[in-house]
């Protein structure tokens, strides 16, 4: 039985992506060589890298707007310190909306002063603070667009004249935003983009080169830009698989088309959470994420029965993060609406039998 995979990341990718990636491990484009054994300097892979970079910008609507796309390593966690290395001269403003924001703040403090403009830690990050302003005397403002663990997302981004840095790891390519309002976007691939092991960085070139420190080469965006994202051996397979996924998204109609489907999936699960008396949502309603729906059983004694029903239905990866508990349905681009339907059915069934 094929599973319904609600994993928070690494997560489901389109079945056709799995199929093509699997084939490439045996024979990449009929070359007689595996994608794992070709040189990253080969014409075939340089084409992959260039198409992946260009397609990322195209899908985000950032062509010809002064941005460069890079495929790096180390995930968002490496970007926490890398962003600060490249942009922090003296002081930066951070919005604290969850575990990952807090980690970004911790790393940035190693290199300068951090002003936390607002935090929702007081309520275990179940909402997005709105009552704050972004100081004008900071080197940049940092936020997290979607909080995977808590199931919240920023619906409206405040206007500011300082550079805006955004960790979009768990919602990039899932919803339409005016991406040109951001100066640095980064995202671990393992949600809406590809397998773990690649990190997309989209940076507006004119914000770089303004700090006085010496930046280690591997942490310097300008070094990576100067080498077309090939300063050293890139994670070839993770980038190729990301490209397959980006092509799939383009064929589907891009972000505009996928956002409509994502909204339908989110409406399906949230209306069940709100109407089924056995469940309660975790996140503040206006801040709910369309990617990660967090919810709990009202009566924890039903857990065993619910978990058994989930297993029976082939539902995988629904456990909530340990800092929230309960359940989390991650519904990234590649998760079929049908899988959400199966989950809602199981929730209904629990109600009928209780």
Give residues in contact with its own copies (CB under 8 A). Answer: 1-3, 5, 7-13, 18-19, 21-23, 25-26, 31-34, 36-40, 73-78, 80-81, 103, 106-107, 110, 188, 190, 194-198, 214, 216-219, 231-238, 241, 314, 316-317
Q: Of 68, 191, 204, 265, which residue is the catalytic one? A: 191
CB of 138 to its own copies, least distance (A): 20
**Residue 258, burial from CB neighbour count under 10 angstroms (0-12, 13-18, 19+):** buried
Is 191 among the catalytic positions?
Answer: yes
Q: How far is the CB of 157 from its own copies (least distance, A)?
A: 25
Contact of 278 with 351, CB cutoff 8 Å: yes
R_g of the chain computed on alpha carbons: 21
Q: Taking CA 179 as the corner, what is the angle to CA 173 and CA 184, rounded to the nearest 5 degrees? A: 95
Q: Which is nearer to its own copies, 56 or 330 (CB)?
A: 330
Among 75, 120, 128, residue whose Cα is nearest residue 102: 120
20 is catalytic: no
Residue of 68, 96, 139, 167 marked active site? 167
Residue 127 CA to residue 67 CA, distance in Å, equals: 31
Nearer to its own copies, 135 or 325 (CB): 325
Smaller CB separation from its own copies, 84 or 177? 84
Q: How far is the CB of 307 from its own copies (least distance, A)?
A: 16
Nearer to its own copies, 157 or 231 (CB): 231
In whole angstroms, the minimum distance from the beta carbon of 300 to its own copies comes to 22
Nearer to its own copies, 103 or 247 (CB): 103
Sequence-ordered list of residues with C-beta below 8 angstroms from that of 127, at least 6 positions apart, any chain: 120, 152, 283, 284, 287
- In contact, 254 and 60? CB cutoff 8 Å: no
Strand partners, 115: 93
Return the ∠ at Cα 86 (arms to 118 and 125), rounded to 5°: 25
Least spacing, CB of residue 10 vs its own copies, in Å = 6
Active site residue 167: yes
Catalytic site residue from 68, 96, 100, 287: 100
Write out the catalytic residue numbers: 100, 167, 191
């Amino acid at each position: 039985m094929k599973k319904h995979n609600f994993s928070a990341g690494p997560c489901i990718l389109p079945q056709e992506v799995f199929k093509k990636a699997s084939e490439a491990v045996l024979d990449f484009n009929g070359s007689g060589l595996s994608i794992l054994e070709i040189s990253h300097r080969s014409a075939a892979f340089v084409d992959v890298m260039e198409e992946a970079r260009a397609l990322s910008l195209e899908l985000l609507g950032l062509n010809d707007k002064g941005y460069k796309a890079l495929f790096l390593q180390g995930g968002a966690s490496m970007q926490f310190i890398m962003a600060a290395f490249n942009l922090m001269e003296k002081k930066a403003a951070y919005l604290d909306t969850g575990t990952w924001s807090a980690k970004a703040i911790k790393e940035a403090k190693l290199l300068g002063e951090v002003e936390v403009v607002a935090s929702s830690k007081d309520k275990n990050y179940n909402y997005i603070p709105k009552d704050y302003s972004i100081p004008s005397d900071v080197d940049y403002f940092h936020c997290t667009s979607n909080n995977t663990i808590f199931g919240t997302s920023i619906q409206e981004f405040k206007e500011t004249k300082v550079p805006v840095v955004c960790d979009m790891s768990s919602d990039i390519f899932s919803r339409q935003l005016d991406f040109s309002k951001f100066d640095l976007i980064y995202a671990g691939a393992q949600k809406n983009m590809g397998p773990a092991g690649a990190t997309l960085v989209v940076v507006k070139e004119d914000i770089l080169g303004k700090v006085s420190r010496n930046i280690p080469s591997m942490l310097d965006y300008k070094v990576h830009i100067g080498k077309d994202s090939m300063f050293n051996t890139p994670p070839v397979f993770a980038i190729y698989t990301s490209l397959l996924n980006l092509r799939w998204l383009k064929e589907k109609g891009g972000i505009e088309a996928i956002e409509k489907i994502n909204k339908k999936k989110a409406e399906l699960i949230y209306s069940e959470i709100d109407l089924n008396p056995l469940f309660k949502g975790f996140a503040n309603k206006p801040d709910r994420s369309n990617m990660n729906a967090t919810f709990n059983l009202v009566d924890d004694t039903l857990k065993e029965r619910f978990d058994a029903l989930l297993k029976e239905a082939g539902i995988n990866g629904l456990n909530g993060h340990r800092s929230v508990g309960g359940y989390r349905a991650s519904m990234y681009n590649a998760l079929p609406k049908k899988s959400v339907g199966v989950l809602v059915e199981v929730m209904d069934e629990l109600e009928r039998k209780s």
